[in-house]
Amino acid sequence: MIGQIASLFVRPSPRSDLETAQLPPALPAPAMVTVVCAAADAQALGAAVALAALRGGDASVALVLSWLGGPCSATGLVVPSTAAARRLAARLVARRVDARAGGRLVRASLPADAGEAVVVARRALAASGGAVAVLVVGGPRTEVLDELLAESGLVVVAMRPGAGEEIAELAVASIPVPAAAVVGCAVELSVAGRTLATAGAGLVPSLQAALRVVAEAAR
């Protein structure tokens, strides 16, 4: 039974040629924050976690890498980008990473194939400089994706309110990093909270409170 439930969070799959190919080496910095959440919440929560990390640290820009295991929907309206965000977006585009700047955030949608997504993510991280790095996982994880996730300094498992306690515990336990680096939290996205975060405009008080641990970790 537990194995069946765990399969909701980790999807075993044969490795493709891309997954077994030589990948760029792991980067010791910047420390990456990973968000594991529902696909429908990925855009908003990825931006929200990035904004929370920016509030707690000294970085001027954040890179948000999103993987949903399928097509990523368009972000929609975003606030005007800062100069630092535009510079980072330009570096990423020059390295064949599909990136878009908005406010203090630079967002990049990763390919649906997990192996290819890891290659592109590493390429983006290598060009991120001192930016806050946020990886958003909104689809069933594969082993190759977990190898990248394991390099996170902090993993936030965001559950919608009302999720069963057993399901939440299994979701947290499935993360391949030390337990001290994994935080499970219930996050309720109001219309205003979702809209403001997705646009890169800011965080409503309820999101600030729910993601306080991210800001504290960034200090």
Euclidean distance between CA atoms 144 and 122, whole angstroms: 12
- In angstroms, the Cα distances linking 199 to 48, 49, 78, 101, 102 are 10, 13, 4, 11, 7
pLDDT in tens, 154-173: 999 998 877 767 777 888 88
Domain ranges for the chain: 24-218
Euclidean distance between CA atoms 169 and 103, whole angstroms: 35
User: Is pLDDT of 11 > 80?
Assistant: no
- Where helices occur in the chain by DSSP H, the ranges are 2-6, 17-20, 42-56, 83-94, 114-126, 143-149, 165-173, 191-199, 205-210, 212-218
pLDDT at 74: 64
The predicted model gives 172-184 an average pLDDT of: 85
pLDDT in tens, 104-152: 999 999 999 999 999 999 999 999 998 999 999 999 999 999 999 999 9
pLDDT at 12: 41
Euclidean distance between CA atoms 104 and 85, whole angstroms: 6
Contact (CB, 8 A) for 16 and 113:
yes
| 24 pLDDT tier (thresholds 50, 70, 90) | very low
Contact (CB, 8 A) for 4 and 127:
no
Euclidean distance between CA atoms 56 and 66, whole angstroms: 22
The predicted model gives 85-102 an average pLDDT of: 96
Supply the CATH classification number for the domain 24-218. Answer: 3.40.50
pLDDT at 125: 96
Closest CA to 21 of 162, 158, 102, 118: 118
Q: Count CB neighbours of 39 within 10 A.
A: 18
pLDDT over 70 for what percent of the chain? 84
